[in-house]
Structure 1
Amino acid sequence: MKKVLYYDCFCGISGDMNLGALLDLGVEEDYLRHELSKLNLEAEYEFQAKKDNKKGITGTRVDVLLKNAAHTHQNEHHHNGHHHHEAPNSHESDNHHNHAHRNLKDIETIIINSSLNNRVKKLSLDIFMKVAEAEAKVHGKPLHEVHFHEVGAVDSIIDIVGAAVCIDYLKVDKIMASSVQVGGGFVKCAHGIMPVPAPATVEILKDIPVKSGIVPFETTTPTGAAILAANVAAFTDHMDFSIEKIGYGIGHKELEIPNVLRIYLGYEEKDVTREDQYILETNIDDMNPELYGYIEEKLFAQGALDVYKTAISMKKGRAATKLSILVNEKNEKSVLDIIFRETTSIGVRKYKVEKIMLPRDFEKVCTQYGNVTIKNAYYQGERVKYKPEYEDCRRIAIERNIPIARVYREVSKMMEDDNYDK
């Protein structure tokens, strides 16, 4: 059984919504407070967590209130989702308290010098790096020169280190998320009027599936985006696990939809793995059949997961071959290159398939003829089949000048005799 954390970002994600949802899910508040105290920043902020309700959904709301915040940061609430310390427009950004101007080096120093455990330190720095790289790129500055309020602010440090503490506390095997709602419209911040999602948010969410425009407000902040980017192994709207607990993090906005983040804690059966893959296929009736072996080798070399040929009858009674290739998204382009450069095909059909696989592993078995690699497959925790690797058996048969069937029989005998069942 794999323990899974799944972020349901139907109304986006911000740093404080994330902390609220993880506390709601069962992370102990006292534990989180104790770990955060290791940063030695308590003179600068006050951490509040309380039960709250949005549009009938009850959850936990987190506020990070800054002390000495007489002239607080008028731009943070746009970037970090902390709308609770919005400042009047008369306070320009240069009035920021000195602690708002910490740069990446300062933050790294605070984290590295703390007594937090190494897993939390590493994860915190990974999340900060995602934000810092995005801000540096957006503002056109070298990484360690970026003096930006967004990440420098104490509330971001608490949001990000807090996220790392909670994730470490939950000890899950896998973190997944839905596609991420980013919102829409425009937002005022220290730099002027920004489109939603803010440039830094978009930068962080590269390669992550997003949705937009459910409300004309910013629903995902750079901090929220970075927490996902640094932690999530798979983004999918297809949930394939049993849910044990649900946590709701309450946001600070009043929207037409509930401004909450939902996080599920559940278990994934290890019986089978499901993966989305693609079949590329093309019908060929005008190619020298000798070329298929060569093309097949090249396709496998470029990452094809399977290649097979079917005899078909095309129009006007032409005998032909349907070439089918199973491929994942990553290798699709290089496989298409081979088809279009090496075969006579001028068009390909593509469709998505779901592949369901048993978990497998490999072991070496020592036979009287030498070592043979065995591929084992498991179902519901027990080994249900095993198969000697053909190449090993072939090599032994040629070297020893014995029938290959004898090598297979020898392996079977050893597997049964030693009762290799695990």
Structure 2
Amino acid sequence: MKAMYIDALHGASGDMLISSLVDYGLPILFLEDIIKKLGVDNFIELKVSQSSRQGIIGTHLDVIIDSPESHTYKWQDFVRIVQESNLSDYVKRVTTDIFKLIGQAESEVHNTDIDQVEFHELGTLDTLFDVVGFVSSIEELGIGEIYCSPLPRGSGKINTAHGILPVPPPATLKIIEIMDAPSFPPHDLGVVTGEMITPTGTAILSTLASFDSPVMLISGSGCGLGTRDPESHPNITRIHIGSIESANSNIPFNSELMLLETNIDDTTGEILGYVLERLMDMGAKDVWHTPIQMKKNRPATLLSVLIEKDSFDDISGFMFRETATLGIRVKDIYRLEADRKIEEFKSSLGDVNVKIKLIDGSFIDAYPEYEDCKDIAIQKSTPLIEVYKIIQSEIRDKFSNNM
């Protein structure tokens, strides 16, 4: 099954999403046919251009509206137009869900009955085209699974029909809330990014996509450009299209974990040691730190934490509370594990627990547990390294002969 991953980390709108598909190779004639099926081909013209945003080349699809009269549509009008068309049942069902979601968000923001909601900026034919065009294109390309990055909330203010509003605008924020979509603030809180995700883009993504980052074999990609070219970030939406099954089917992963990482440059060694100890106590699979060098040649520490997915909230919250970090990078990790078992071993120095490593049922190696060896070293006043050597030699003699 064909899958698509949408990189919306730098922004997403309806036109940027369709632009990314055109950049991937979606024929513009297909989109023009969608406009005809909607019966609005006299009012919409598509213009495709290639450009760049901060050096990244992509495609921008300009949706030019030439309506003879100024008319604002309600979400029910969009649904009626779609339902009266000869588009597929899938497109009708999904686009109706998206339009209704936008209507629900607007009704909750303005404390208005959903049937009385006015769309204002969203009530134009380009909103109709963005939603129907994207959903129809997904069906045309045979994409069965859609994944997406977390959504950037952006910062600053925008001018709207309701006046000057904060970014993200209330309707966008309400859709994020209703759909429980993951989002994040700007990495640099002092930078004004402007609007990075629109209500239309947010509604499309939160309806169609799973907010996850799967392992994929990528066969093609596309880059859609937004209209603005801000200094704060490249105003782009990228897509990657490929296969999920072929990427994973031949790899016998034992577990799926998450890796949390953050750079820390103003924490003492005592605090860092405490954090590592507590993270292990909280159930982290592994914790380590690496010396790094940050901008302006400042020495710092990279804190890495490997966790089970169900402990994400507790452990990420602890990292925010106990360190000075303002952001945590999150990656999905697929881990291969050798077979292992724990057995008690009676050595010449005393009883110890032994971790035995097996591959296809055959003995590979065995390792005495540190705490047991430490206790023996203290009790017998013997260097720990000598305890390890003696016990490991006896372990290998026994298990290599018996397995």
TM-score bracket, shorter-length normalisation: 0.5 to 0.7
Q: Deviations over 1:296-328 (max 9, x none)?
A: xxxxxxxxxxxxxxxxxxxxxxxxxxxxxx996
Structure 2 partner of 1:210? 183
Measured after TM superposition, the shift of residue 277 of structure 1 is 8.2
Instruction: Give me the CA root mean square deviation.
Output: 2.9
**Structure 2: how far apart are the matches of 1:243 and 1:174?**
14
> Which structure 1 segments of 5+ residues have no match?
70-96, 279-325, 334-351, 358-422
Contact map agreement 1:182 1:220 (CA 8 A) in 2: yes
Contact map agreement 1:132 1:151 (CA 8 A) in 2: no
Taking a change above 3 Å as real, the CA distance of residues 241 and 327 of structure 1, as seen in their structure-2 partners, is closer
Structure 2 partner of 1:305? none
The 3-state SS of whatever aligns with 2:18 is helix
Q: Deviations over 1:194-244 (max 9, x none)?
A: 1100111111112222122264300100001011011102334xx521221
Q: Deviations over 1:120-176 (max 9, x none)?
A: 111211221221111111111111211222332111001111111111112123111
Matched, 1:201 2:172: yes
Matched, 1:31 2:30: yes
Structure 2 partner of 1:190? 161
Measured after TM superposition, the shift of residue 252 of structure 1 is 0.7
**Structure 2: how far apart are the matches of 1:198 and 1:180?**
14
Contact map agreement 2:257 2:335 (CA 8 A) in 1: no
- Summarize the alignment of residues 22-421 of structure 1 with structure 2, pairs less than 5 Å apart: 22-68=21-67, 97-100=69-72, 102-206=73-177, 207-213=180-186, 215-236=192-213, 239-256=214-231, 257-268=233-244, 269-271=247-249, 275-276=256-257, 329=310
The answer to which of 166-175 and 219-228 deviates more is: 166-175
Structure 2 partner of 1:21? 20
Q: May I ask how many residue pairs the two structures share in their alignment?
A: 263
**Structure 2: how far apart are the matches of 1:56 and 1:354?**
31
**Structure 2: how far apart are the matches of 1:353 and 1:259?**
26
The answer to which of 109-118 and 199-208 deviates more is: 199-208
Measured after TM superposition, the shift of residue 270 of structure 1 is 4.2
The 3-state SS of whatever aligns with 1:31 is helix
**Structure 1: how far apart are the matches of 2:129 and 2:333?**
41
**Structure 2: how far apart are the matches of 1:267 and 1:327?**
25
Structure 2 partner of 1:340? none
Structure 2 partner of 1:375? none
Contact map agreement 1:208 1:235 (CA 8 A) in 2: no
Taking a change above 3 Å as real, the CA distance of residues 276 and 63 of structure 1, as seen in their structure-2 partners, is same
Letter in 2 for 1:247: G
Taking a change above 3 Å as real, the CA distance of residues 58 and 145 of structure 1, as seen in their structure-2 partners, is same
Taking a change above 3 Å as real, the CA distance of residues 209 and 111 of structure 1, as seen in their structure-2 partners, is same
**Structure 2: how far apart are the matches of 1:156 and 1:140?**
22
Measured after TM superposition, the shift of residue 22 of structure 1 is 0.9
TM-score by length of 2: 0.60
Contact map agreement 1:11 1:182 (CA 8 A) in 2: no
Measured after TM superposition, the shift of residue 57 of structure 1 is 1.7
**Structure 1: how far apart are the matches of 2:70 and 2:226?**
27
Contact map agreement 1:11 1:261 (CA 8 A) in 2: yes
**Structure 2: how far apart are the matches of 1:213 and 1:126?**
30
Contact map agreement 2:257 2:308 (CA 8 A) in 1: no
> Which structure 2 segments of 5+ residues have no match?
260-306, 315-330, 337-403
Q: Deviations over 1:361-420 (max 9, x none)?
A: xxxxxxxxxxxxxxxxxxxxxxxxxxxxxxxxxxxxxxxxxxxxxxxxxxxxxxxxxxxx
The 3-state SS of whatever aligns with 2:3 is strand
**Structure 2: how far apart are the matches of 1:152 and 1:353?**
39
TM-score by length of 1: 0.57
Taking a change above 3 Å as real, the CA distance of residues 18 and 186 of structure 1, as seen in their structure-2 partners, is same
**Structure 2: how far apart are the matches of 1:353 and 1:62?**
33
Measured after TM superposition, the shift of residue 68 of structure 1 is 4.2
The 3-state SS of whatever aligns with 1:216 is coil
Taking a change above 3 Å as real, the CA distance of residues 145 and 58 of structure 1, as seen in their structure-2 partners, is same
**Structure 2: how far apart are the matches of 1:51 and 1:213?**
27
**Structure 1: how far apart are the matches of 2:220 and 2:155?**
31
The 3-state SS of whatever aligns with 1:205 is helix
**Structure 1: how far apart are the matches of 2:155 and 2:217?**
33
Contact map agreement 1:248 1:263 (CA 8 A) in 2: yes
Measured after TM superposition, the shift of residue 354 of structure 1 is 6.2
Taking a change above 3 Å as real, the CA distance of residues 61 and 181 of structure 1, as seen in their structure-2 partners, is same
**Structure 1: how far apart are the matches of 2:257 and 2:169?**
31
Q: Identity, % of aligned pairs?
A: 32
Letter in 2 for 1:114: S
Measured after TM superposition, the shift of residue 276 of structure 1 is 4.6
Letter in 1 for 2:54: K
Letter in 1 for 2:21: L
Q: Deviations over 1:332-374 (max 9, x none)?
A: 99xxxxxxxxxxxxxxxxxx996769xxxxxxxxxxxxxxxxx
Contact map agreement 1:277 1:329 (CA 8 A) in 2: no
Taking a change above 3 Å as real, the CA distance of residues 190 and 243 of structure 1, as seen in their structure-2 partners, is same
Letter in 2 for 1:262: R
Measured after TM superposition, the shift of residue 192 of structure 1 is 1.1
